[in-house]
Amino acid sequence: MKISIIGATGYTGAELLRILASHPAAEVVYITSESQPGTAINDIYPHLIRFYEKALVSLADLDKIAAESEVIFIGLPHGHAMEVGRKATAINPKLKVIDLGADYRFKDHDVYEQWYKVAHTHREAEAVYGLTELNRSQIRDSSIIGNPGCYTTASILALAPLVQRQLLDLSSIIIDAKSGVSGAGRSLNLGSHFTEVFENVKAYNVAGHRHTPEIEAVLGELAGERLVVSFTPHLIPVARGILSTCYATLKAGVTPEAVDEAYTSSYGQEYFIRLLGRGGYPVTKNTRGTNFCDLGWHIDSRTGRVIAIAAIDNLVKGAAGQAVQNMNVMFNIEERTALEAAPLYP
Amino acid sequence: MKISIIGATGYTGAELLRILASHPAAEVVYITSESQPGTAINDIYPHLIRFYEKALVSLADLDKIAAESEVIFIGLPHGHAMEVGRKATAINPKLKVIDLGADYRFKDHDVYEQWYKVAHTHREAEAVYGLTELNRSQIRDSSIIGNPGCYTTASILALAPLVQRQLLDLSSIIIDAKSGVSGAGRSLNLGSHFTEVFENVKAYNVAGHRHTPEIEAVLGELAGERLVVSFTPHLIPVARGILSTCYATLKAGVTPEAVDEAYTSSYGQEYFIRLLGRGGYPVTKNTRGTNFCDLGWHIDSRTGRVIAIAAIDNLVKGAAGQAVQNMNVMFNIEERTALEAAPLYP
Amino acid sequence: MKISIIGATGYTGAELLRILASHPAAEVVYITSESQPGTAINDIYPHLIRFYEKALVSLADLDKIAAESEVIFIGLPHGHAMEVGRKATAINPKLKVIDLGADYRFKDHDVYEQWYKVAHTHREAEAVYGLTELNRSQIRDSSIIGNPGCYTTASILALAPLVQRQLLDLSSIIIDAKSGVSGAGRSLNLGSHFTEVFENVKAYNVAGHRHTPEIEAVLGELAGERLVVSFTPHLIPVARGILSTCYATLKAGVTPEAVDEAYTSSYGQEYFIRLLGRGGYPVTKNTRGTNFCDLGWHIDSRTGRVIAIAAIDNLVKGAAGQAVQNMNVMFNIEERTALEAAPLYP
Amino acid sequence: MKISIIGATGYTGAELLRILASHPAAEVVYITSESQPGTAINDIYPHLIRFYEKALVSLADLDKIAAESEVIFIGLPHGHAMEVGRKATAINPKLKVIDLGADYRFKDHDVYEQWYKVAHTHREAEAVYGLTELNRSQIRDSSIIGNPGCYTTASILALAPLVQRQLLDLSSIIIDAKSGVSGAGRSLNLGSHFTEVFENVKAYNVAGHRHTPEIEAVLGELAGERLVVSFTPHLIPVARGILSTCYATLKAGVTPEAVDEAYTSSYGQEYFIRLLGRGGYPVTKNTRGTNFCDLGWHIDSRTGRVIAIAAIDNLVKGAAGQAVQNMNVMFNIEERTALEAAPLYP
């Protein structure tokens, strides 16, 4: 598979390169950067010495890139990705596109435009939402993937089995998520400055984070009705990892066993979802560097709530890993390819 | 004021010593340890060189300690503190007791016994719950204080004004709290081992943490009715700091302005509560080393919820600082004494 | 004392404000910023709420600032500070100036110009190097202080007693220093980006760091001859703290006791230097938030070397704290004033 | 290859399991623990779910373990490993032994006994020191490997080319090393307690660390004469990583190019040594999770010294990774097998 990475100098791009380095069927043909074209990738990321010698090219060469690639991963800011997607698929209609941003995540483009404040310019794309475990068969037949957000992956995986089986009071869902700083990217800003983040924890974008409508759209579709959720992201002083703590009131009469059954029947056969069971405590570090999502759930009989907890590596299952998982599905390769290394613990 | 600290080698004890070192009216007369009696405190804590030369004594000397002290701070495990409290007040009836553990926190001893699994042996004590901003006048006249837990201080301060004014659906309260590791103390265990905590985040004691009934008791009293809450503590890789993110559904018709008004009228005159206002984002680091509780709140009009966020230093406002604040109140000293240093940022 | 802080929005400025908040004789009259004039300091640094309401002003008002101040602290980049110093002392000849940068640190302006690559424009200033413990009497009578660098403070304090007593082979001095990230300031750069620093350690500016000539100048003066040292700074993932590990070969016949005696006779009466003795292990955290320099030393009989280790808080003894210590000396105030709080541990 | 791991519950054991999980020729047959026999390894290390189901067995079964294994890795405290090595090779003379502790590292058993304070009980073992890049051909033919220490691996690799070519004044070598906490293992002690390590840095075992004689023995052999070095380990608040900063005086007339040439001719063909060149800055994070040793060197013309810097992951190249590298060599397998994943950055 000839692969190009559009916007390769961010952490997501670097993570794609890390993962693809161990993919036996992958050949990275172009990697692009508008800020540092001409620079060798391992000058920017010396950890990649021995893995890539390649120099970055500019998107000005999109014609060539699209023509010579079988699949492109896009790691550009929202608004820009759909432009590249539109042009690249026009150049090479057989090209597969996996966008790691938000442009192709929403079936309802109006919701996208409302939350992202830009016009959607590639509405005709038949994009599939790339949460592999939920949409595998559609992904297999698709050529454009909107790869899910990091928070959304963890949160949806924690709640989907319960929502799908109508076990929850849909108006009661609250998601309190904690993320490492790599999710904020490599661009400089005070909020990612070491001394500001260190020995600190904060909430941000309360009641306004853009992953909210993404969660709502997917869960709403599973539920068969519209729903709204409270979603609160927090920044904690780690580089990698998201822990999503999800609260919901169980419908009257739902037993703990019904909750267990929902998880095991949804995910019992899923390699990348590790069920720690009722009473289990996922921790982010156990997933570090891998595509696993660890899940545990708790029934609070005093309040009638279920508390479901998901842990992922935001750069892997929350971004580049799931993107490669989707690529494997799209190309009918063993889904675990390049995603089989054990977690880096401790 | 002649002060003794019972159980001085834990982090709470060390923090009391740090704070009292700058208290002009305080004289520390005894500090005790059963594990290392005879050792100089600054051999155990070299950061205290220049501040204390004193050697630790054993509780075997309680007669002398109680007789020669005007106030004792107790930093012992639950169950042990009330034994010391009972004996010490028998020896010296004028002694003031401030217990930093749970033994004196519950008016309803049955709740205590149910959650802490020990018989309460000092039921006749007329203890006051030491959340200073809520109970100041009672504290002034009391001689035994049950100093609040760290999580409870942050969580109650965030919710009290709204509960008290009947603005919330009381069945809807969810508290998602994040704590630094110092809250787990200095005793060795794998859960506080550096390599296990580092680049990691986890929930623990879901639906079973002992601060839950404490929060429920205080908020229930303010509400005038029993209530239950979901409380989930998380461990994050910082030494100090608690961030408590509190969710509740507003009663129909409650306006954002009514929420604002609740906070400003409850806390507008409180020195140690810094209101960051509606839309404000408290962060733990801004309170580091101080007795401040920073508060911000958000109205999510889509879901009808309020999200109130409190940040404290768990060892100060969540333990030793509030204990000294209470001592100041009990002795009619300016409440801020020894608690006036600015936060250590960054 | 009417105090102004020129360039107050960096970490050094914030630290000065933190320390001065507890200074009974200090009144901060102006704080300046060229990037954010008009903004309230506690909008930039919310941890300072309750301590300062003041808005930042521009250096355009230097006439007024200099005229209405008794002392100014300068926290500007090198090259700019001496311009302000020159103008401000011309406006107000009685003004005391404490510069936290390099402009006034060098007696030999040629060395300054060679390492800092700018012409020195205030050569006539009778500046004193503000390492308080070494130069106290000169500081008392001076009106312009070049406050020492963070690395230099730790390194010189560790080596001065031995150099002064001619105990070392002067050609053998190697200083390996480890610093927290706050030393790099609040300006955004990739080297201070959280995800780059976290779980990482690196050396930088090997054989070229600008604190090298400062160390050489001071030690050379103490030795009575020119000397060169190897100085290697490292960045470690902490916010505050410098540990300086200093190696030197002892001259033939120098006994361990002679080394001990050098330290105790130089520093035995110094409040801010805590001698942990031969075999002692200073750690940065024991000095966190304070003006202490903790010192320990080791004799390696196998190699004939002494290894002297100093720990400081780079923002306090390494910057703002020593600056206030110098101010106290200059104004004949008790030297510890505003510098008496115990370290924040853990 | 049938592999057993003796003492598998420490971090080194867990790291061996992580690495071997991706080794196509490896079959782990037994993993032992004396503290938790019978427990499943993924109950102790849940990150290993999907990779190992196996339960721990006791060394009481050594007969069976030795008989059914082709190679054993030993992760026991010094003194115990040689007992196991002696017995296991007696049971199965064809067994290969790779000890990750110190018991088989010293050719001169007297040096071992002097520094480790135990009698050597397996002096007849024909052990080879397993620093692969230096001893590859001997390792190939050996059956007992003393796998190098973490500090020693980094320090020797940094200095060996220069020592071997007689470029250094051998009396001038100083090694200042910084290590993450995983090097101290998973056993509980206050020195690895999160709150003690966090925002802290300290030196330890100055002039007495047991890796000192190991470095001296290997470098001395390369030099052809005895030498002593100053070695100072430091603990920094990261989980993984060692940075070793090595100082030495160049012999008169040694040019920078001669230094460059030493490194490139020694290591130019070594896959796991990445030369960053003269002026290069290795950082630990670039090696995280991998068997790489990154090397850079600097010439300080002012002092006549070379400063050579090595970065490794202490658990990989400093322990389990090099052990697997050695196993690959011993079994004539491609040396990189199971060691090819790219570093986990950021």
Is C246 assigned a catalytic role?
A: no
Give chain C's mean pLDDT.
Answer: 98
**β-strand pairing of D96-99 with D71-74:** parallel
Whether residue C331 lies inside any domain: the answer is no
Looking at residue B107, its pLDDT comes to 97
Interatomic CA distance for residues C238 and C253, integer angstroms: 40
B195, B198, B239: residue with CB nearest D11: B195
Q: Looking at this protein, which amino acid is placed at residue B73?
A: F
């009974």: which residue's tokens? C24
Q: How close, in Å, is residue A195 to chain C by CA atoms? A: 5
Name the residue among A18, A274, A344 with its Cβ closest to that of D50.
A274
Same domain, D156 and D58: no
Chain C CB contacts of B346 under 8 Å are: 11, 14, 182, 239-240
CA distance C291 to chain A (A): 20
Answer left, alpha or beta for residue D26, where phi above 0 means left and psi between -120 and 50 means alpha.
beta
Residues A102 and A57 in one domain: yes
pLDDT at D318: 98
Q: Of these residues, C150, C154, C157, C162, which one is catalytic?
A: C150
Name the residue in chain D with its Cα closest to that of A284. Answer: D47
Per the omega criterion (within 30 degrees of 0), is the bond before A346 cis?
yes
Q: Classify the C-alpha dihedral A97-A98-A99-A103 as positive or negative.
A: positive
Q: What angle do CA C21, C24, C27 make, to 5 degrees?
A: 65
Instruction: Report, as an integer, the average pLDDT of A224-233.
Output: 98
D55 domain residue, yes or no: yes
Cα of A132 to nearest chain B Cα, Å:
25
> Rg of chain D over CA atoms, in angstroms?
20
Report chain D residues whose CB lies below 8 A from the CB of A50. 271, 274, 292
In the chain, the amino acid numbered B2 is K
Does one domain contain both C194 and C119?
no
One domain, residues D39 and D186: no
Cα D193 off chain centre by: 24
Q: If you search the block for the tokens 């380095």, which residue do you land on?
A: A21
The tens place of each residue's pLDDT in chain D, 346 residues long, gives 999 999 999 999 999 999 999 999 999 999 999 999 999 999 999 999 999 999 999 999 999 999 999 999 999 999 999 999 999 999 999 999 999 999 999 999 999 999 999 999 999 999 999 999 999 999 999 999 999 999 999 999 999 999 999 999 999 999 999 999 999 999 999 999 999 999 999 999 999 999 999 999 999 999 999 999 999 999 999 999 999 999 999 999 999 999 999 999 999 999 999 999 999 999 999 999 999 999 999 999 999 999 999 999 999 999 999 999 999 999 999 999 999 999 999 9
- How far off is chain C from D278, nearest CA to CA, in Å? 11
D345:A45 CB<8 A? yes
Same domain for C208 and C285, yes or no, is yes
Q: Which of D11, D22, D294 sits opposite A341 (nearest CB)?
A: D22
Euclidean distance between CA atoms D106 and C251, whole angstroms: 33
**Closest to B71 (Cα-Cα) out of B133, B168, B147, B162:** B147
Q: D150, D197, D238, D308: which one is catalytic?
A: D150
Tell me how long chain A is: 346
Q: Using CB atoms, which residue from B11, B198, B286 is nearest to C346?
A: B11
Distance CA B140, CA A84 (A): 69
On whether both A172 and A307 belong to a single domain, the answer is yes
Q: Which two three-digit tokens encode residue B89?
A: 């007040």
State the pLDDT at residue A215. 98
Chain C residues at the B interface, defined by Cβ less than 8 Å, are 11, 14, 17-18, 21-22, 45-51, 182, 198-199, 239-240, 271, 274, 276, 285-289, 292, 294, 340-346
Do D104 and D201 fall within a single domain?
no
Inter-chain contact A341–D341, Cβ cutoff 8 Å?
Answer: yes
Q: Does some domain include residue C56?
A: yes
| DSSP assignment letter at A193 | B
Q: DSSP string spanning C44-56?
A: H-GGGTTT--PBP
Domain presence at residue D308: yes
Cβ B345–C47 below 8 Å, yes or no?
yes
What is the per-residue pLDDT across C207-264, written as a single tens digit (0 to 9) for each? 999 999 999 999 999 999 999 999 999 999 999 999 999 999 999 999 999 999 999 9
C110 and C159 both lie in a single domain: no
Q: Do D237 and B198 touch (CB under 8 A)?
A: yes
User: Which residues in chain B are closer than 8 Å to A174, comparing Cβ atoms?
Assistant: 174, 247, 305
* Contact between residue B281 and residue B345 where contact means Cβ atoms under 8 Å apart: no
Q: Which of A21, A285, A342 minimises the CB distance to D342?
A: A21
Residues of C in contact with D346 (CB under 8 A): 195-196, 198
Residue in D227, D248, D244 with CA at minimum distance from that of residue D173: D248
Q: Do D283 and C202 touch (CB under 8 A)?
A: yes
Could you tell me the CATH number of the domain that includes residue C310? Answer: 3.30.360.10
pTM, entire model: 0.98
Spell out which residues of chain A touch residue B203, defining contact as CB-CB under 8 Å: 243, 245, 281, 307, 309
Q: Which residue of B has its CA nearest to D184?
A: B195
Categorize the per-residue pLDDT at A76 as very low, low, confident or very high, splitting at 50, 70 and 90. Answer: very high
Tell me if A322 is assigned to some domain.
Answer: no
Find chains touching chain A: ≥3 CB pairs under 8 Å.
B, C, D
Distance from CA of D305 to the nearest CA of C (A): 8
Place of tokens 């791009």: A13
Is residue A345 in a domain?
no
Eight-state DSSP code of residue B76: P
Residue A309, in any domain of the structure: yes
The minimal CB distance from C239 to the residues A181, A188, A195 is found for A195
Do C164 and C81 lie in one domain? The reply is no
Q: Give chain A positions within 8 Å (CB) of D46.
A: 276, 286, 294
Q: What is the distance in angstroms between the Cα of C276 and the nearest Cα belonging to chain D?
A: 13
Strands A144-146 and A273-278: unpaired
Using an 8 Å CB-CB cutoff, list chain B residues near C345.
Answer: 14, 18, 45, 47
CA angle A197, A201, A202 (to 5 degrees): 105
Task: Tell me the average pLDDT across A268-278.
Answer: 98
**pLDDT confidence tier of residue A263, bands split at 50, 70 and 90:** very high
Measured between beta carbons, the chain D residues lying within 8 angstroms of C247 are 174, 176, 230, 232, 247
Mutate to test the interface with C, among B9, B11, B43, B47 (most CBs of C within 10 A): B47
The stretch A184-195 carries a mean pLDDT of 96
What was the pLDDT predicted at D50?
A: 98
Q: What's the average pLDDT block by block, 10 residues per block, for chain C (346 residues)?
A: 97 98 98 96 98 96 97 97 98 98 98 97 97 98 98 98 98 98 96 97 97 98 98 98 98 98 98 98 98 98 98 98 98 98 97
| pLDDT, position C44 | 97
Tell me, what's the pLDDT at A203? Answer: 98
Give per-residue pLDDT as tens, A130-175. Answer: 999 999 999 999 999 999 999 999 999 999 999 999 999 999 999 9
CB contact under 8 A, B346 and C240: yes
- The total of structural domains in chain C comes to 2
Q: How many CA atoms lie within 13 A of D45 on its CB side?
A: 27
| Contacts D234 to C, Cβ<8 Å | 178, 243, 245
Pick among B194, B314, B344 to test the D interface (most D CBs inside 10 A): B194
CATH, residue D105: 3.40.50.720
SS3 C88: helix
Ordered strands of the D230-235 beta sheet: D202-203, D230-235, D174-179, D242-249, D305-312, D293-300, D273-278
CA–CA dist B237, A180 (Å, integer): 11
The number of beta carbons lying within 10 Å of the beta carbon of residue C70 is 18
Residues of D within 8 A of C276 (CB-CB) are: none
Q: Which residues of C touch B312 (CB under 8 A)?
A: none
Same domain, D219 and D290: yes
Q: What amino acid positions of A are annotated as catalytic residues?
A: 150
Same-domain status, A198 and A307:
yes
Task: Tell me the nearest-neighbour CA distance from B346 into chain C, angstroms.
Answer: 7
Name subunits touching B (3+ CB pairs < 8 A).
Answer: A, C, D
| Residues C199, D299: C-beta atoms closer than 8 Å | no
Residue of A195, A199, A314, A315 to mutate when probing chain C, most C C-beta within 10 A: A195
What is the domain extent for residue A190? Answer: 151-314
If you measure CA to CA, which chain A residue comes closest to B294? A202
Nearest Cα residue in chain C from A188: C188
Angle at C302 between CA C299 and CA C304, to 5 degrees: 55
Query: Within a domain: residue B75?
Result: yes
Rg of chain C (C-alpha set):
20
Same domain, D248 and D115: no
| pLDDT by position in tens, chain B (length 346) | 999 999 999 999 999 999 999 999 999 999 999 999 999 999 999 999 999 999 999 999 999 999 999 999 999 999 999 999 999 999 999 999 999 999 999 999 999 999 999 999 999 999 999 999 999 999 999 999 999 999 999 999 999 999 999 999 999 999 999 999 999 999 999 999 999 999 999 999 999 999 999 999 999 999 999 999 999 999 999 999 999 999 999 999 999 999 999 999 999 999 999 999 999 999 999 999 999 999 999 999 999 999 999 999 999 999 999 999 999 999 999 999 999 999 999 9
